[in-house]
């Protein structure tokens, strides 16, 4: 039984890597060429084939890819969610992608704000700003404003605009 529990944990771990990899491959076209080797796993052991680098070095290489992924995600979000009427399928995909990019961003934020992270201060403001933006998106998705609240804000911030 203990052996099966370990296998289930390994499957769960591989599923998380698969979701993260899928997200990065979708929103960062150059990801496979630059970082595909990080996700090369030995099927029997689940261990990377190449020698592991210190986490800080991997994070420093991942940060530009993460920035590109966030830019791609936010452009997609603007076009498919904010400027159109998304289908239920699109909203489900959006929720899943937003959930995973938020998780990754929180992890990166924690790492670059660690006092021992070598290049943390350089990236911390960008990551914190993007984290706030993604959290606003999550909040808007899960707690949308009512029509009444929207009209009140429009009247408050655009008092001279004609009302429909």
| DSSP code of residue 29 | T
pLDDT digits (tens, 9 = 90+) for 125-157: 999 999 999 999 999 999 888 989 888 988 999
In a domain, 10, yes or no: yes
3-class state of residue 151 by DSSP: helix
pLDDT digits (tens, 9 = 90+) for 65-90: 999 999 999 999 999 999 999 999 99
Number of domains in the chain: 1
DSSP calls for 33-83:
HHHGGGG-B-TTT--BSSPPPPHHHHHHHHHHHHHHHHHHHHHHHIIIIIS
In a domain, 156, yes or no: no
| DSSP code of residue 113 | T
Q: Provide the domain limits for residue 80.
A: 2-146
Direct distance between the N- and C-terminal alpha carbons of the chain, in angstroms, rounded to an integer: 65
In a domain, 21, yes or no: yes
- Find, among 32, 117, 29, 40, the residue nearest to 76 by Cα: 29
In a domain, 158, yes or no: no
pLDDT of residue 38: 47
Look over the chain and give the mean of its residue pLDDT values, rounded to a whole number.
78
């Amino acid at each position: 039984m203990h052996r099966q529990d370990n296998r289930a944990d390994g499957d769960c771990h591989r599923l998380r890597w698969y979701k993260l990899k899928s997200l990065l491959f979708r929103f960062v076209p150059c990801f496979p060429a630059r970082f595909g080797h990080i996700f090369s796993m030995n099927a029997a052991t689940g261990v990377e084939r190449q020698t592991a680098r210190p986490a800080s070095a991997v994070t420093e290489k991942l940060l530009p890819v993460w920035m590109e992924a966030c830019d791609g995600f936010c452009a997609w979000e603007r076009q498919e969610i904010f400027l159109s009427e998304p289908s239920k399928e699109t909203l489900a995909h959006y929720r899943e992608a937003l959930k995973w990019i938020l998780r990754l961003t929180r992890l990166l934020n924690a790492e670059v704000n660690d006092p021992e992270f070598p290049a943390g201060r350089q990236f911390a403001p960008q990551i914190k700003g993007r984290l706030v933006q993604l959290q606003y998106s999550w909040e808007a998705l899960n707690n949308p404003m009512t029509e009444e609240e929207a009209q009140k804000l429009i009247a408050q911030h655009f008092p001279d605009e004609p009302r429909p």
